Amino acid sequence: SETVLIIGAGHGCAQAVASLRSEKFEGKIVVVGDEDYIPYQRPPLSKDFLKGDLPLERLYIKPQKFYDDRDVEMKTGVRVTKIDPAGKTADLDNGESVSWDHLIIATGSHVRKLTCPGHDLGGVHYLRTVADVHGIQADFDGAKDVVVVGGGYIGLEIAAVARQKGKNVTVLEMADRILNRVVAPEMSAFYQRVHEEEGVKILCNTGVTALEGDGGKVSRVLTGDGQAFDADLVVVGIGIVPAQELAEAAGIELDNGIKVDEHCRTSAADVFAIGDVTSHPSPLYGRRIRLESVPNAMGQAKITAKAIMGTLEVYDEIPWFWSDQFDMKLQIAGLSAGYDQIVIRGDLNSRSIAAFYLKDGVLIAMDGVNRPAEFMASKKLITMKAKPDPDKLADPDVNMKEFL
Ligand code: FAD
C-alpha cells in the first residue's frame, strides 16, 4: 500500500490527516514533527494560553486518540533534515529514513529575528511555539517593564496580555503606524487609541538599534532616535519567514515560499505543500499570495488530500483571519491591498466598527471589530465580487442581509 509522509505537525498536518482518512486513503500515514507535541492550535499562544487561562491539553487540535484511531504513525520531537523527491525518501535527525509515495510539506514558518547588538541577551523572546510561551511565562512574573518589538497582530496581542497582567508595556514599531501591513490607516489609528486607553504606550517610526543588559539579561532597549526604554522582558514580533529550507535544498521551485499550483502541487512530482510555507495562485485576486492563517492551512490540506486521491479541486477560499486584543474581536475577510475607497460603519471612537475596502466599486476586503454579522456577510459578498452601495454600507441601520 502507499505511504503519505507529512512533515510538520501543525495546523495543516492535523487537517491533512483528517481529510486523507475521510477521503478514504487506506495507506500508511507517517507524521514527523520537530516539536514535542501532537498538533496544537497556535492562535491561543499569544492570547488565552499566554495569559495562563488554558491548559496545554486544551490546545491540542485533536486528542492522541484521534491519530491512534486513524492509524497514524506520529513521530514528535524529530526533525526531517533532507528530502529526496527523486528517490522518494526523507532523512530524519534520529538517523531513520522514511520512504513515501506522496509527500506533504507542512513546515509552517520561522520567526524573523533581531540581529542588533544584544539580540542574544536573556529575557529576549519570540513567540511561535508552546516552548516559547513557557519561556516568556518564566520571565513574566518578575517583570515590571515589558517592551514589545513590532506592532503587528502578534505584538499587539502580547502587549494586551502583558497589560492585563499589570505590566508597564511599550510597543516599538519601525513603520509609521501599527498593523501597517494589513489594515488601513483608519484602523491603525483605531487600534492605537484603544491600546493607549488601556495604558499601552505605542511608539511608531521607532526602530530598535541595540539591547543592553546586566549580567547577561536584558535591561534596556535603545532606538534609532536616541531613546532608551527600561525592559525586564522583551518580546519580538517582527514577522515570519516561510520554513522552506527542505524544499530549497531539494531544488523545488520557490516564490515567496514554496510555489504551489491551485491544487497545492509543488514543482516536484508527488510533493505537495500546504500552509504558511506556500504561495499559491488566488483565482479571487488574480495573483500569487502567501497567507499566514489557520483557515488557509486547513483549506489547502483538504485540497491536497483530494489531489492525492485523484480529484483535482481548485483551492479558492477567501482569505480570512482574526485577532483578539482586550475586549475586541477583530475579524478580517479578504485582502485589502490595492483598495481605492474605504467605508467605515460605526463610530471610530467606539470599540465596535467595520471597515469595508472597495476597488472600482467591488468589495475586496473587510475588517470587523466586534462585528460578526458584517464579517459573515462580507465573506460572501467578497467571493461574489459584489458592488454594494457605499452609503448603505456606512449606515449601521442597514441590515447586511440586504446586500446578499
Ligand atoms: P504550523 O502550524 O506552524 O506547523 C508547522 C510545524 O512544522 C511546526 O511545528 C514546526 O516546528 C514543524 N517543522 C518545521 N520544519 C520541520 C522539519 N524540518 N521537520 C519536522 N518538523 C518541522 N492564524 C489565524 O488564523 N488566526 C490567529 O489568530 C492567529 N494567531 C497566531 C498567533 C501566534 C502566536 C502565531 C505564532 C500564529 C498565529 N496564527 C494565527 C497563524 C497560524 O498559527 C498559522 O498560520 C498556522 O499555524 C499555519 O499552519 P501550518 O500547518 O502551515 O504550520
Q: What is the DSSP letter of 353?
A: E
Q: How confident is the model at residue 141 (pLDDT cuts 50, 70, 90)?
A: confident
pTM score, two decimals? 0.98
For the CA of 8, the nearest atom of ligand 1? 7
Number of the ligand 1 atom closest to the C-alpha atom of 12? 51
Radius of gyration of the chain (CA): 22
Nearest CA to ligand 1 atom 38: 43
Model pLDDT for residues 195-221, shown as the tens digit of each residue: 999 999 999 999 999 999 999 999 999
Three-state secondary structure call for residue 304: helix
* Atom number in ligand 1 closest to CA 245: 18
Phi-psi category of residue 55: left, alpha or beta, with phi > 0 → left and psi -120 to 50 → alpha: beta
Give residue 43's Cα distance to chain centre. Answer: 7
**Residue 352 cell numbers, joined:** 465596535
The residue whose CA has the least distance to atom 41 of ligand 1 is 293
Residue with cell 511608531: 204
- Whether 278 lines ligand 1, by a CB cut-off of 6 Å, is no
80-93 in b/e burial notation, b at 16+ Cβ within 10 A? beebebeebebbbe
Query: Does the pLDDT at position 20 exceed 90?
Result: yes
Instruction: Find out whether the beta carbon of 331 lies less than 6 Å from any atom of ligand 1.
Output: no
Which helix (H) or strand (E) element contains residue 219? strand 217-223
Q: What is the mean pLDDT of the chain?
A: 97
**Alpha-carbon span 4 to 31, nearest angstrom:** 8
What's the Cα-to-Cα distance from 91 to each of 7, 14, 75, 96, rounded to whole Å? 11, 22, 13, 6
Please name which of 200, 97, 125 lies closest in space to residue 156, comparing C-alpha atoms: 200
Alpha carbon distance 81, 35 (integer Å): 14
Q: Is the CB of 300 under 6 A from ligand 1?
A: no
Residue 301 exposed, middle or buried by CB count within 10 Å (0-12, 13-18, 19+): buried
Question: Model confidence over 142-197: pLDDT tens digits?
Answer: 899 999 999 999 999 999 999 999 999 999 999 999 999 999 999 999 999 999 99
Give the distance (Å) from ligand 1 centre to CA of residue 354. Answer: 28
Which residue of 31, 107, 156, 317 sits with most ligand 1 atoms within 8 Å of its CB, as the best mutation to test the pocket? 107
Strand partners, 402: none
For 69-116, the pLDDT digits (tens) are 999 999 999 999 999 999 999 999 999 999 999 999 999 999 999 999
